[in-house]
């Protein structure tokens, strides 16, 4: 990966990542395509939205259709036909969280995670090396390493163990990746480590310093946030953590968040985000606009001829009225899900494009002020 930091405005950063499947201009939001498909959309929809990178979920794709099947189609790009970049997670979070349904199904030890498939109950094992093998088969442009996840609240002892183990696994992962690259495997694939430590400053510093010392990593993520903590705690933790992260590599805040979360964390030096929120909320009737959230199921929209957001240039707003979307939603029509998902993803991707322009123009503070001001009306 080529990383070029183009501008800063306050702590906000604008950079360009150049990878095998094209450039990613930051700040960037990565739509979630769990099953090699962003829900209700296809690869041309994503291209029309201007998506430069999509997130795929290794756990799901490993189980179905299987990473070996996807490899036969030329990886995620050939399988889904989306030609731009993919980031894949390690699968550890889903193995951990879907395993939690029955505690006996998930076993974590110093070598990895044993879990049962939520589809057919079959047993599987993820190790720091195996999740990379899977991601080599998926052919993602950015691979995430396995980290040792724990339920919170937890004992200080267990939190400390998880940070140590995450560092150990990161060392194993990067060593494995460098050796695989020497064999010609994953040479065009980048690898990110994941900083843990909850909202504890000491643990975050420890994790960040240990991981960022591993300079073969192409980038670093902040994990374990947006799991129910107060927004301000998340913001404070990010602000604290980014100071220990290198300036010349991308910073990815995992699983975040609302438009406000994106703005606040760009403000604290984050470059990359992913979240199911725009697509999931679309399906639930919640649409994002420059003036805040709209619930399209509301009776007041039944005869409203305006688009969702008159300031929006998306396909849905250019074509359809609130009344038509209200009708489709109330009728349970599938067409609604695509139109609403297109709108919400356009909102997120466009917000990032506008943020980038503001940073490049060193106009970030004003941009942030206006973002909030539009929401006050």
From 87-95, 131-139, 237-245, 317-325, span contacting a second copy (CB under 8 A): 317-325
Catalytic residue numbers read: 89, 274
Contact status: 48 vs a second copy (CB under 8 A): no
Q: Which is nearer to a second copy, 56 or 197 (CB)?
A: 56
Residue 166 Cβ vs a second copy, minimum distance, rounded to whole Å: 30
Contact status: 79 vs a second copy (CB under 8 A): yes
Residue 32 Cβ vs a second copy, minimum distance, rounded to whole Å: 12
- Distance in angstroms (rounded) separating the CA atoms of residues 91 and 71: 17
Q: Which of 327, 360, 370, 375 binds a second copy (CB under 8 A)?
A: 327
In Å, what is the CA distance from 229 to each residue of 98, 180, 234, 235, 264? 21, 38, 7, 10, 15
Contact 196, 166 (CB under 8 A): yes
Contact status: 16 vs a second copy (CB under 8 A): no
Q: Which is nearer to a second copy, 160 or 330 (CB)?
A: 330
Query: What is the per-residue DSSP string for 55-87?
Result: EE-HHHHHHTT-HHHHHHTTHHHHHH---SEEE
Axis crossing angle, helix 334-360 with helix 322-330, rounded to the nearest 10: 130
Q: Which of 17, 30, 40, 294 binds a second copy (CB under 8 A)?
A: 40
Residue 116 Cβ vs a second copy, minimum distance, rounded to whole Å: 18
Alpha-helical runs (H) found in the chain: 43-49, 58-63, 67-72, 75-80, 92-99, 130-138, 156-182, 201-212, 231-242, 259-266, 277-284, 315-319, 322-330, 334-360, 364-374
Q: Which of 338, 343, 356, 368 binds a second copy (CB under 8 A)?
A: 338
From 204-212, 253-261, 326-334, 360-368, span contacting a second copy (CB under 8 A): 326-334
From 2-10, 37-45, 269-277, 286-294, span contacting a second copy (CB under 8 A): 37-45
Contact status: 161 vs a second copy (CB under 8 A): no
Q: Which of 8, 11, 39, 285 binds a second copy (CB under 8 A)?
A: 39
- Distance in angstroms (rounded) separating the CA atoms of residues 63 and 56: 13
In Å, what is the CA distance from 356 to each residue of 48, 193, 270? 19, 25, 12
Q: Which is nearer to a second copy, 256 or 314 (CB)?
A: 314
Residue 19's contacts (CB-CB under 8 Å, 6 or more residues apart) are 1, 2, 85, 141, 142, 188, 190
Q: Which is nearer to a second copy, 14 or 30 (CB)?
A: 30
Chain residues 276-315 in contact with a second copy, contact rule CB under 8 A:
302-303, 305
Q: Which of 19, 27, 54, 60 binds a second copy (CB under 8 A)?
A: 60
Report the SS3 class of residue 302: coil
Contact 243, 237 (CB under 8 A): no
From 13-21, 67-75, 178-186, 254-262, span contacting a second copy (CB under 8 A): 67-75
SS3 sequence of 197-239: CCCCHHHHHHHHHHHHCCCCCCEEEECCCCCCCCHHHHHHHHH
Chain residues 172-191 in contact with a second copy, contact rule CB under 8 A:
none
From 58-66, 166-174, 216-224, 351-359, span contacting a second copy (CB under 8 A): 58-66
Tokens of 317: 């707003």
Nearest CA to 85 out of 20, 12, 27, 135 is that of 20
Q: Which of 25, 80, 242, 344 binds a second copy (CB under 8 A)?
A: 80
Contact status: 262 vs a second copy (CB under 8 A): no
Q: Which residues in this chain contact a second copy in the complex, by CB under 8 A?
A: 35-44, 60, 64-65, 69, 72-73, 79-81, 302-303, 305, 319-321, 323-324, 326-328, 330-331, 333-335, 337-339
């Amino acid at each position: 990966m080529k990383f070029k930091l183009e501008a800063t405005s306050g702590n906000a950063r604008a950079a360009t990542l150049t990878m095998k499947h094209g450039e990613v201009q930051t700040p960037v939001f990565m739509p979630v395509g769990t099953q090699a498909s962003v829900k209700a959309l296809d690869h041309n929809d994503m291209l029309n939205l201007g998506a430069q990178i999509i997130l795929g979920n290794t756990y799901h794709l490993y189980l179905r259709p299987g990473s070996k099947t996807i490899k036969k189609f030329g990886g995620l790009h050939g399988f889904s036909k989306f030609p731009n970049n993919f980031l894949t997670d390690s699968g550890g979070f889903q193995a951990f969280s879907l395993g939690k349904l029955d505690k006996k199904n998930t076993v974590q030890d110093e070598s990895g995670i044993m879990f049962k498939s939520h589809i057919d109950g079959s047993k599987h094992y993820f190790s720091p090396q195996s999740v990379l093998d899977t991601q080599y088969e998926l052919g993602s442009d950015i691979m995430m390493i396995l980290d040792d996840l724990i339920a919170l609240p937890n004992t200080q002892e267990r939190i400390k163990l998880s940070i140590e183990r995450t560092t150990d696994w990161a060392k194993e992962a990067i060593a494995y990746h460098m050796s695989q690259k020497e064999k010609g495997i994953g040479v065009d694939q980048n690898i990110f480590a994941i900083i843990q430590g909850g909202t504890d400053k000491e643990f975050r510093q420890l994790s960040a310093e240990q991981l960022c010392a591993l300079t073969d990593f192409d980038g670093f993520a902040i994990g374990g946030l947006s799991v129910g903590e107060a927004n301000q705690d998340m913001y404070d933790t990010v602000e604290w953590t980014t100071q220990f992260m290198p300036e010349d590599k991308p910073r990815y805040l995992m699983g975040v968040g609302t438009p406000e979360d994106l703005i606040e964390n760009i403000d604290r030096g984050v470059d990359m985000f992913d979240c199911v929120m725009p697509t999931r909320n679309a399906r639930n009737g919640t649409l994002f606009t420059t003036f805040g959230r709209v619930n399209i199921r509301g009776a007041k929209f039944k005869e409203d001829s305006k688009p969702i957001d008159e300031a929006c240039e998306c396909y849905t707003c250019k074509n359809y009225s609130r009344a038509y979307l209200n009708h489709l939603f109330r009728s349970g029509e599938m067409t609604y899900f695509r139109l609403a998902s297109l709108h919400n993803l356009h909102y997120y991707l466009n917000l990032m494009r506008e943020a980038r322009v503001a940073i490049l123009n060193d106009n970030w503070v004003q941009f942030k002020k206006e973002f909030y001001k539009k929401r006050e009306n």
